[in-house]
Chain A
Amino acid sequence: MNWILSPLEVRPDHRNRIGPKAYALSVMSREGFNIPDTLFLTVDAYSAFVDASGLRERILLELNRKEFKDMRWEEIWDCATRIRHMFLKKQIPGPLKSYLTEKIGSRFSGKTLAIRSSAPDEDVSGSSFAGLHESFVNVRGTSSILDRIRLVWASLWSDAALLYRQEIGLDVEKSAMAVVLQETVTGDRSGVVFSQNPNDKTQVIIESVYGLNQGLVDGMVEPDRWILDRDKKTVLSHKPAQREHWMVPSEHGAEMAALPENLSGRPPLSSEEALGICDLAYRAESLFKAPQDVEWTIKNDTLFVLQSRPITTLSPSETEDKRAWYISLHRSVENLKALRTTIEETLIPEMAKTAKDLAEQDITVLSDQGLADEVRRRWKINQHWVNTYWEEFIPYAHGVRLFGQYYNDAMRPDDPYEFMNLLTQTKMVSLERNQLMEELASLVREDRQLFERLKVGEPLDLDLEFGEKVNQFIEKFGDLSCAVTGGTECATDTRPLFKLLLEMAVIPSSLSSRKKPKDALALQQRFFERFQGPKRKEAEELLDLARSSYRLRDDDNIYLGKIEAQLISAVKEATSRVESSERRGTHKSELDDLKSVIHDLDYGNRQRKLTDSSNEYGLKVNPRQLVGQPAGPGLSRGKARVIRHHLDLQDFKNAEILVCDSVDPNMTFVIPLAAGVIERRGGMLIHGAIIAREYGLPCVTGIPDATFLIHTGDDITVDGFLGIVTISQRDKL
């Protein structure tokens, strides 16, 4: 069994053991192309590692917690994070480690390496995996090299790779990863060449930057671009870049730096050099008998080939696939910083203003036709923000994961989510709201007379302080009525809010039960102590970015909920007009448009319909233990309170376990009362998990059909460590 092959040892039957990227390099090496000194780790090395370390089955257990198709992208993020952490924590076992150390040490003694992925199933699928797996440059020392090899292997299980493999129908369980180890050539100029422009077969395209190729490949450095005529071998055009940065080797890989002034004024390639690179692309195309995308670098005027792969012509179906979106989830720090500015300074204020403007508009005075137009307008506005949510807010949530990865790489903690302790206790809109509720509850707790009056539901002639605070609360956050909170079934007054306040008032201050940032400061200190100089600043910036990203996971939902609530209120007004006309038995043609807009939107009929056929023929199905994702550590037992409709919240009792389809930020009124949280939607970064962590509550997310399988009153246990919910006793009622 060969764990390592040199390019000259590679035979055609090795192709599926080293992957197409490595195989192409071996062929080029044999044909006299100038490639850096290279070794290939075969998939056998990967297999030896996952088998000896027990990771093969641990990965599959992780991925098979539930049906892959039932997992939301956030759950897949979490799976990928846990799997990467397994690779990070597991050392390469003895015999393999000795073998690799000896081979790599003798071949590359003292040199730095580029470590790249080469996935054999890229061949099987005929699809490009470009950008899906990790690669590292300028890695020095055997221990660091072995560390990075593990991370390249782990990237086989990155969320983007998992999602893409699933989309193109590959069996992830059979996937394996080969690795290319290549001496780092610290090129002074680098780039890519397409031997055929995918959009114009008569052209060749060259892109080039100063410094390492990483800057171009990661999209961090804008390249100069040349277009050449394929037949005439002449330069048709040259588009210079704003040359401001370059990627240079650093202690731990590569980093962006300002481009020296003497270079920024001139292109990285002369026309003659561009033609030379064009020739290289022709030779590669002729060798592989297909148009090629070749990565190259120039060091001291010597041209090296780093890799070559066929250009995949995009078919209509491929252009519609989501690879680009999956990759877009992995944003660079610079990109996230820019996104943060846009979101915090433009998008959130715009959302808040939109929600406020819509709320202030009196739709009852509109004509029937005017109302139909208004419903359509609101639908468009809502749709715009839903799209913005996907395009801007969700990728921004990657700030949390980026920090998590950074933290885990530096600290190697046992718990891959230890970093979350540094993110909680941030200022979030829903926490501010819950604090106001606690203040109201405390007034009720201290004033027996007020307590009794609220309890019997007397017409309220509220005392000044309490009444004023209630009004402030409603003005800012709404009561439990749908016009403000986004529910589709509405309370007609503030009684649901008072019911919850009464419940809160009978227990000691629930704020005191809120999780204390135990050791968070000490943890933060230990984290920062790992870095010095500019690295320390980078760590601080990343933590700040992650906190903003974490907070936004709450706030964006609140504002989105408010906008949708305004759409729903317009739909309700329309429905009410149509129903009232039908009751009167009158037909007004002006109502036809209202009917059609209600029909088109189909609001109010969106409740998932689940039929329980389990009582047929005397057979009955009960859940006993349900597996989801561990999303908030802790263990608690209590009665379930299942929220199927918004108004179910008003019956929430102290120490019950909240079970819901998805914790809408507008539902977190009750969290201070809850003993645990169970949610159908999965993931660590969904709203329910975030709020549960803030209150230190055990939380399990991603339980399919949770609100169907669990009944209000069931005696249940939430194991937030393992992600398991046990139904001890079914409620007899």
Chain B
Amino acid sequence: MTHYEDIKKQIRELLINQKLGVLSTHHSGQPYASLIAFAGREDLREIFFVTPRTTRKFANLSADSRVAILINSSLNMDSDFHEAVSITALGNAKEINKAEKYEILSLYLTKHPYLEAFATSPTCAVVRVSIKTYVMVKNFQHVMELHID
């Protein structure tokens, strides 16, 4: 599965089907990983998540916007080793501005309706990650990259 259309399709499927991913930020070089509920754009260029502004991850990404997000289809079973597909999205994170909030929250809550109270809380920030690269791993060791200009 090395062809462009197949790779795009598999990344899109993971963005649609998976609800949770692992966000990686850092503080003074110390990596920090946290679970996030995310939503992604159809064109693969942006991933969004919501976080209270008091969190470590928000502080970290405010200090250095470079982040990575791991999303995968594993089921915590042995078969994951040959069946699961995983993507690591590399990009820059930034809180969205008020003008965009309605459209993006609507996209986010369509996927995570149970998070409405959380996502609309005035203490939460909606964060956009502008993706530069996806690194996709399947068949245990097969790795392809999709770069976005």
Give which listed residue, B7, B43, B79, B142, contacts A60 with CB less than 8 A. Answer: B79
Given the interface pairs A57-B78, A61-B82, A619-B8, the reply to whether A627 lies near B146 with Cβ below 8 Å is no
In the complex, whether B32 has a CB less than 8 A from a CB of chain A is no
Give per-residue flags for A382-415: 1 if the beta carbon is below 8 A from chain B beta carbons, else 0: 0000000000000000000000000000000000
Q: How far is the CA of A216 from the CA of B79 in the complex (A)?
A: 42
Q: Tell me how far the C-beta of A500 lies from the nearest C-beta in chain B, rounded to whole angstroms.
A: 31
Could you tell me if B149 and A618 are in contact, using CB atoms closer than 8 angstroms? yes
Q: How far is the CA of A686 from the CA of B2 in the complex (A)?
A: 23
Interface residues of A in 580-620 (CB under 8 A from B): 612-614, 616-620
In the complex, whether B20 has a CB less than 8 A from a CB of chain A is no
| Chain B residues whose CB sits within 8 angstroms of the CB of A624 once the complex forms | 135, 143-145
Could you tell me if B79 and A622 are in contact, using CB atoms closer than 8 angstroms? no
In the complex, whether A238 has a CB less than 8 A from a CB of chain B is no
Interface residues of B in 45-76 (CB under 8 A from A): none
In the complex, whether B140 has a CB less than 8 A from a CB of chain A is yes
Could you tell me if B2 and A704 are in contact, using CB atoms closer than 8 angstroms? yes
Q: Tell me how far the C-beta of A31 lies from the nearest C-beta in chain B, rounded to whole angstroms.
A: 42
Could you tell me if B1 and A67 are in contact, using CB atoms closer than 8 angstroms? yes
Q: How far is the CA of A56 from the CA of B149 in the complex (A)?
A: 42
Q: How far is the CA of A709 from the CA of B141 in the complex (A)?
A: 16
Could you tell me if B145 and A623 are in contact, using CB atoms closer than 8 angstroms? yes
Give per-residue flags for B1-17: 1 if the beta carbon is below 8 A from chain A beta carbons, else 0: 11111011000000000
Give which listed residue, B78, B82, B144, B149, contacts A623 with CB less than 8 A. Answer: B144
Q: Tell me how far the C-beta of B75 lies from the nearest C-beta in chain A, rounded to whole angstroms.
A: 13
| Chain A residues whose CB sits within 8 angstroms of the CB of B148 once the complex forms | 618-620
Give per-residue flags for B75-88: 1 if the beta carbon is below 8 A from chain A beta carbons, else 0: 00011011100000
Could you tell me if B146 and A620 are in contact, using CB atoms closer than 8 angstroms? yes
| Chain B residues whose CB sits within 8 angstroms of the CB of A626 once the complex forms | 2, 142-143
Could you tell me if A722 and B146 are in contact, using CB atoms closer than 8 angstroms? no
In the complex, whether A621 has a CB less than 8 A from a CB of chain B is yes
In the complex, whether A270 has a CB less than 8 A from a CB of chain B is no
Q: How far is the CA of A641 from the CA of B8 in the complex (A)?
A: 28
In the complex, whether B110 has a CB less than 8 A from a CB of chain A is no
Q: Tell me how far the C-beta of A160 lies from the nearest C-beta in chain B, rounded to whole angstroms.
A: 22
Q: Tell me how far the C-beta of A157 lies from the nearest C-beta in chain B, rounded to whole angstroms.
A: 14
Give which listed residue, B79, B82, B147, contacts A619 with CB less than 8 A. Answer: B147
Q: How far is the CA of A709 from the CA of B144 in the complex (A)?
A: 10
Could you tell me if B2 and A623 are in contact, using CB atoms closer than 8 angstroms? yes
Could you tell me if A622 and B145 are in contact, using CB atoms closer than 8 angstroms? yes
Q: How far is the CA of A76 from the CA of B141 in the complex (A)?
A: 19
Q: How far is the CA of A627 from the CA of B143 in the complex (A)?
A: 8
* B2, B44, B79, B139, most chain A CB atoms within 10 A: B2
Could you tell me if A724 and B146 are in contact, using CB atoms closer than 8 angstroms? no
Could you tell me if A625 and B2 are in contact, using CB atoms closer than 8 angstroms? no
Q: How far is the CA of A2 from the CA of B2 in the complex (A)?
A: 45
Could you tell me if B7 and A61 are in contact, using CB atoms closer than 8 angstroms? no
* A54, A621, A624, most chain B CB atoms within 10 A: A621
In the complex, whether A499 has a CB less than 8 A from a CB of chain B is no
Interface residues of B in 96-149 (CB under 8 A from A): 135, 139-149
Give which listed residue, A57, A63, A623, A724, contacts B141 with CB less than 8 A. Answer: A724
| Chain B residues whose CB sits within 8 angstroms of the CB of A63 once the complex forms | 82
Could you tell me if B82 and A709 are in contact, using CB atoms closer than 8 angstroms? no
Could you tell me if B141 and A625 are in contact, using CB atoms closer than 8 angstroms? yes
Give which listed residue, B83, B141, B146, contacts A621 with CB less than 8 A. Answer: B146
| Chain B residues whose CB sits within 8 angstroms of the CB of A318 once the complex forms | none
Could you tell me if A613 and B79 are in contact, using CB atoms closer than 8 angstroms? no
| Chain B residues whose CB sits within 8 angstroms of the CB of A622 once the complex forms | 144-147
| Chain A residues whose CB sits within 8 angstroms of the CB of B4 once the complex forms | 612-614, 616, 619, 621
Could you tell me if A66 and B143 are in contact, using CB atoms closer than 8 angstroms? no
Could you tell me if B82 and A625 are in contact, using CB atoms closer than 8 angstroms? no
Q: How far is the CA of A613 from the CA of B43 in the complex (A)?
A: 16
| Chain A residues whose CB sits within 8 angstroms of the CB of B147 once the complex forms | 619-622
In the complex, whether A89 has a CB less than 8 A from a CB of chain B is no
Q: Tell me how far the C-beta of A671 lies from the nearest C-beta in chain B, rounded to whole angstroms.
A: 26
Could you tell me if A64 and B146 are in contact, using CB atoms closer than 8 angstroms? no
| Chain B residues whose CB sits within 8 angstroms of the CB of A279 once the complex forms | none
In the complex, whether A337 has a CB less than 8 A from a CB of chain B is no
Q: Tell me how far the C-beta of A222 lies from the nearest C-beta in chain B, rounded to whole angstroms.
A: 46
Could you tell me if A627 and B145 are in contact, using CB atoms closer than 8 angstroms? no
Could you tell me if A60 and B141 are in contact, using CB atoms closer than 8 angstroms? no
Q: Which chain B residue shows the least CB distance to A51?
A: B78
Could you tell me if A64 and B82 are in contact, using CB atoms closer than 8 angstroms? yes
Give per-residue flags for A63-75: 1 if the beta carbon is below 8 A from chain B beta carbons, else 0: 1111100000000
Q: Tell me how far the C-beta of A214 lies from the nearest C-beta in chain B, rounded to whole angstroms.
A: 37
Give which listed residue, A616, A627, A709, contacts B139 with CB less than 8 A. Answer: A627
Q: How far is the CA of A32 from the CA of B145 in the complex (A)?
A: 66
Given the interface pairs A619-B147, A624-B145, A722-B141, the reply to whether A57 lies near B2 with Cβ below 8 Å is no
| Chain B residues whose CB sits within 8 angstroms of the CB of A616 once the complex forms | 4
In the complex, whether A705 has a CB less than 8 A from a CB of chain B is yes
Q: How far is the CA of A107 from the CA of B19 in the complex (A)?
A: 56
Give which listed residue, B135, B139, B145, contacts A64 with CB less than 8 A. Answer: B139
Could you tell me if A620 and B2 are in contact, using CB atoms closer than 8 angstroms? no
Q: How far is the CA of A60 from the CA of B77 in the complex (A)?
A: 13
Could you tell me if B7 and A621 are in contact, using CB atoms closer than 8 angstroms? yes
Q: How far is the CA of A613 from the CA of B8 in the complex (A)?
A: 12
| Chain A residues whose CB sits within 8 angstroms of the CB of B43 once the complex forms | 617
Given the interface pairs A619-B147, A623-B2, the reply to whether A56 lies near B78 with Cβ below 8 Å is yes
Q: How far is the CA of A622 from the CA of B144 in the complex (A)?
A: 6
Q: How far is the CA of A64 from the CA of B3 in the complex (A)?
A: 18
Could you tell me if B142 and A57 are in contact, using CB atoms closer than 8 angstroms? no
Could you tell me if B81 and A61 are in contact, using CB atoms closer than 8 angstroms? yes
* B3, B8, B147, B149, most chain A CB atoms within 10 A: B3
| Chain A residues whose CB sits within 8 angstroms of the CB of B139 once the complex forms | 64-66, 627
Give which listed residue, A65, A66, A613, A704, contacts B5 with CB less than 8 A. Answer: A613
Q: Tell me how far the C-beta of A535 lies from the nearest C-beta in chain B, rounded to whole angstroms.
A: 40
| Chain A residues whose CB sits within 8 angstroms of the CB of B5 once the complex forms | 613
Given the interface pairs A618-B149, A619-B147, A621-B7, the reply to whether A627 lies near B142 with Cβ below 8 Å is yes
Q: Tell me how far the C-beta of B148 lies from the nearest C-beta in chain A, rounded to whole angstroms.
A: 6
Could you tell me if B140 and A621 are in contact, using CB atoms closer than 8 angstroms? no
Q: Which chain A residue shows the least CB distance to B149?
A: A618
| Chain A residues whose CB sits within 8 angstroms of the CB of B83 once the complex forms | 64
Give which listed residue, A67, A620, A627, contacts B140 with CB less than 8 A. Answer: A627
| Chain B residues whose CB sits within 8 angstroms of the CB of A56 once the complex forms | 78
| Chain A residues whose CB sits within 8 angstroms of the CB of B142 once the complex forms | 66, 625-627
Q: How far is the CA of A624 from the CA of B81 in the complex (A)?
A: 19
Q: How far is the CA of A620 from the CA of B146 in the complex (A)?
A: 6
Q: Tell me how far the C-beta of A621 lies from the nearest C-beta in chain B, rounded to whole angstroms.
A: 5
Q: How far is the CA of A56 from the CA of B144 in the complex (A)?
A: 27
| Chain A residues whose CB sits within 8 angstroms of the CB of B78 once the complex forms | 54, 56-57
Give per-residue flags for A540-559: 1 if the beta carbon is below 8 A from chain B beta carbons, else 0: 00000000000000000000
A-B contact pairs, 5 of them (CB 8 A): A64-B139, A65-B140, A621-B145, A624-B143, A626-B2
6 closest A-B pairs by beta carbon, nearest first, are A625-B143, A618-B149, A64-B82, A57-B78, A624-B143, A614-B4
Kindly list 7 other residue pairs between chains A and B, CB separation below 8 angstroms, not including A623-B143, A623-B144.
A64-B139, A66-B142, A618-B149, A621-B147, A623-B2, A626-B143, A709-B2
